Amino acid sequence: MTAPVVDRAGSALRQPSARRADRRAGAVQGRRRLTGVLLVLPALLLLGTFFLYPLARTVVMSTFTWPLLGNRAFIGLGNYLEAFGDQAFLSAIGFTLVYTLVVTPVLLAVGLVLAGLVQRRTRAARIFQTVYFLPVVIGLASASYLFLFLWQPVIGPTTNLLAGLGVLDVTTNLFGDAVGAFVVVLLLVVWKTAGLQMLLLLSGFQSIPQEVNEAAAVDGATGWQRFVHVTLPLLRPTLALVLVFSVAGSLLAFDQFYILTAGGPDNSTITAVYQIFRSSFIQLDLGYGAALSLLLMLVLGLVSAGQLLLLRNSDHS
Amino acid sequence: MTATSAPPVPRASGASPSGAAGRPRPRGRLAEVRASMPRAAWAVVCSALAVLVLYPLGVLVVRALTGPDGSVGLANFARLAASTGGISLLTGLGNSVFVSLTVTAVTVVVSTLAGYAFARMPFPGSTVVFFVVLVTFMIPFQAIITPLFLTLIQVGLHDSLVGLALVLATFNLPFGIFLMRNSFAAIPATLEDAALLDGCTPLQAARRVMLPLAVPGLVSTALLTFFAAWNDFFATLILINDQAKYTLPVSLNILAAGQNNAVDWGLMQAGVAVTVVPCVIIYLLLQKYYVAGLINGAIK
């Protein structure tokens, strides 16, 4: 993702230096560079104040016991050592990983099916694209409050619908047990984000030259064979991207669990970000929260690196 | 579809030669039948899925429009505006509009300036700076929310909508800069050179010649930023304490908590509707830009 960008910017840098023929051009060039610096300045000011400085501070804070009120003390790697023995944190990590491992393939499969369905260049297909993408623009929090209502026992419309079909009892409270709550969250996330996966995969499909598929068809490949042996390999960069989107999104899950389950029942649906939130803003142990944040960042960094590696490999093949 | 354009592949032994040589008519008719059958099936499957996708939204609209006495109308919205659920919808709406528009304005202006510099006015070290911007893109803001909270206290923007807006704008900056840089880089350099030869200063050329051509990218940036700000829950939940300053998504939390241990679902779904409907309308109107922005940002 970054490599071509850097190359282009690099060549743009070299170009002007060749033009330094006379002094006037040099002065113009100098003023142009100064303008460039000035134009970037507001962005750097914001990113510095609200991103890089807090980031550096996270690192420092993670080596302190840092209660919101009261005395702080340097404890080195103490917070990290505590984290590795903290049952609540470890089970939050475990739950987040399970959640990610379940959500990712489901989202990918649904996204692929939707993309395959709306791939045609007809008016009807475009309308279906618009419909399937619609939930993506709705906030995850609003969608969660909507699903909270849909699945309420006794009064929830979906609960009533399924009870009418004989699937479950109308008094069933899915939020009351870990598996039921997980299923509702899964349905919510699929409803809310499969459209995004569809869109990205669709643009991946469209970047595959038509001739390749036609050639395979002429050679007698069935639809499924063409999909597995032609489409999927050529789709690899897009697949890597889509996977990272859903993996990163799942590892950072918070809103849906905060709203739908409040981490319950019995703290069984506490995610990593939720645990950081609880450490920092409920137990008010900011240093410990910072250490957990850095551990989470490390995991996400590894995922991003994995993505870049996947993308790079596909460039060479 | 033409058999001649296919390169000969030695591995496909049996089926290929006979199909290519004969091109028998019955196979074509069969293909026609097979093609029309799936078309009907396709329409059925797609429509069924569309019903599934739209069902929650349909329920939302029906419940929001059903008043406490079962009548159909805007009763829930009127009650929301009158703070029946312990929070005024109008305040929440005003806060949301203020934060979202401020975030969008700041992000669009700042990322247009920076994007232009990275694309057209490189300076020594600009490559490195751009790389740093891209790296911040990969770091989740959830991870730095605690020190951010402390930083806002330090600069006197604690529990303030302006502080929240600046933070949300910063989170959206890397993506915006990336999109705007790509938009400006895609414009041929000769256009700017021509404007400079005609006597424009570099900034005039930027404003009068380059900027109008980058409008699609600008609209994409604005839309993506607006949606992100409008729908933000996590940052607002943590950075804003005063209920009078809650934006819509966080206000819903109060409605969901209910009063006297009873949740007023009609009231709450009306609140969800107010939060959701502007996004749906904007999306339907400006879909083209929104989708283009997503794809350009994600795939390029």
CA dist A286 and A276 (Å) reads: 9
Q: Which residues contact B31 (CB under 8 A, 6 or more apart)?
A: none
Token pair 């996977």 is found at: A243
Walk along chain A (317 residues) and give the pLDDT tens digit of each residue: 334 444 444 444 445 545 445 566 777 788 888 999 999 999 999 999 999 999 999 999 999 988 877 888 899 899 999 999 999 999 999 999 999 999 999 999 999 999 989 988 889 999 999 999 999 999 999 999 999 999 999 999 999 999 999 988 999 899 988 899 999 999 999 999 999 999 999 988 888 888 888 888 888 888 788 888 888 888 887 888 888 888 888 999 999 999 999 988 888 999 999 999 999 888 888 999 999 999 998 888 887 777 667 766 654 44
DSSP A250-298: HHT--HHHHHHTTT-STTTT--HHHHHHHHHHTS-BHHHHHHHHHHHHH
Q: What is the mean pLDDT of residues B286-295?
A: 85
Half-sphere exposure of A202 (CA within 13 A, CB side): 28
pLDDT on residue A317: 41
Handedness of CA A273, A279, A280, A286 (dihedral sign): negative
Which residues, numbered 199 to 258 in chain A, qualify as contacts with chain B under a Cβ-Cβ cut-off of 8 Å?
Answer: 199-200, 203-204, 211, 214-215, 218-221, 238, 241, 245, 248, 252, 254-255, 258
Contact assignment for A277 to B129 by CB distance below 8 Å: no
CATH 3.40.190.290: does it fit domain A78-316? no
pLDDT over 60 at B25, yes or no: no
Q: Is B298 on the interface with A (CB under 8 A)?
A: yes
Q: What is the 3-state secondary structure (H, E, C) of B201-258?
A: CHHHHHHHHHHHHCHHHHHHHHHHHHHHHHHCCHHHHHHCCCHHHCCHHHHHHHHHHC
CA dist B102 and B93 (Å) reads: 14
pLDDT digits (tens, 9 = 90+) for B162-191: 999 999 999 999 999 999 999 999 899 888
Token pair 């970054």 is found at: A2
* DSSP letter, residue A222: -
pLDDT on residue A61: 92
CATH, domain range B78-299: 1.10.3720.10
Q: Which of A47, A142, A221 sits opposite B272 (nearest CB)?
A: A142
pLDDT digits (tens, 9 = 90+) for B113-144: 999 999 999 999 999 999 888 888 778 888 89
Model confidence at B18, in pLDDT bands (50, 70, 90)?
very low
Say how many Å lie between the first and final Cα of chain B, rounded. Answer: 31
Q: Is B7 on the interface with A (CB under 8 A)?
A: yes
**Which carries the bigger pLDDT value, residue A56 or residue B295?**
A56
Q: How far is B240 from chain A (nearest CA, A)?
A: 12
Contact assignment for A252 to B140 by CB distance below 8 Å: yes
Give me the interface pTM, i.e. the ipTM: 0.85
Look up the pTM and report it.
Answer: 0.85
Half-sphere exposure of A151 (CA within 13 A, CB side): 22
pLDDT on residue A294: 93
pLDDT on residue A213: 80
- Among the ranges B18-27, B138-147, B214-223, which has the highest mean pLDDT value? B214-223
pLDDT on residue A3: 41
Peptide bond into A265 cis (omega under 30): yes
Residue of chain A whose Cα is closest to the Cα of B148: A54
DSSP chain B: --GGGSPP-TT--SHHHHHHHH--HHHHHHHHHHHHHHHHHHHHHHHHHHHHHHHHHHHHHHHHHB-TTS-BSSHHHHHHHTTTTSS-HHHHHHHHHHHHHHHHHHHHHHHHHHHHHHHH---TTHHHHHHHHHHHHHS-GGGGHHHHHHHHHHTT-TT-HHHHHHHHHHHHHHHHHHHHHHHHHTS-HHHHHHHHHTT--HHHHIIIIIHHHTHHHHHHHHHHHHHHHHH--HHHHHH---GGG--HHHHHHHHHH-BTTB--HHHHHHHHHHHHHHHHHHHHHHHHHHHHHHHHHHH-
Helix runs in chain A, H state only: 3-18, 23-47, 53-61, 78-84, 87-117, 123-133, 140-150, 157-164, 178-206, 210-218, 223-226, 232-234, 236-251, 255-260, 272-281, 286-316
Q: Which two tokens stand for residue A224?
A: 């499924």
pLDDT on residue B4: 38
pLDDT over 70 at B37, yes or no: no
Q: Which of B59, B144, B294 sits opposite A150 (nearest CB)?
A: B59
Interface test with A, best of B121, B151, B183, B225 (most A CBs within 10 A): B121
- Whole-number average pLDDT of chain B: 85
Which phi-psi region, left, alpha or beta, contains residue A64 (left: φ > 0; alpha: ψ -120 to 50)? Answer: beta
pLDDT on residue B115: 95
Q: What is the mean pLDDT of residues B268-291?
A: 92
Model confidence at B47, in pLDDT bands (50, 70, 90)?
very high
Q: Is B241 on the interface with A (CB under 8 A)?
A: no
Residues from chain A contacting residue B144 (CB–CB below 8 Å): 51, 54-55, 57-58, 293
pLDDT on residue A313: 61
pLDDT digits (tens, 9 = 90+) for B49-97: 999 999 999 999 999 999 888 888 898 898 888 877 667 888 999 999 9
Contact assignment for A61 to B203 by CB distance below 8 Å: no
Contact assignment for B121 to A2 by CB distance below 8 Å: no
Token pair 């510095």 is found at: A48
pLDDT on residue A32: 85
Q: What residues form DSSP beta bridges with A129?
A: none
pLDDT on residue A77: 92
pLDDT on residue A21: 52
Beta pairing, strands A64-65 & A73-74:
antiparallel
CA dist B62 and B230 (Å) reads: 23
Domain locations in chain B? 78-299
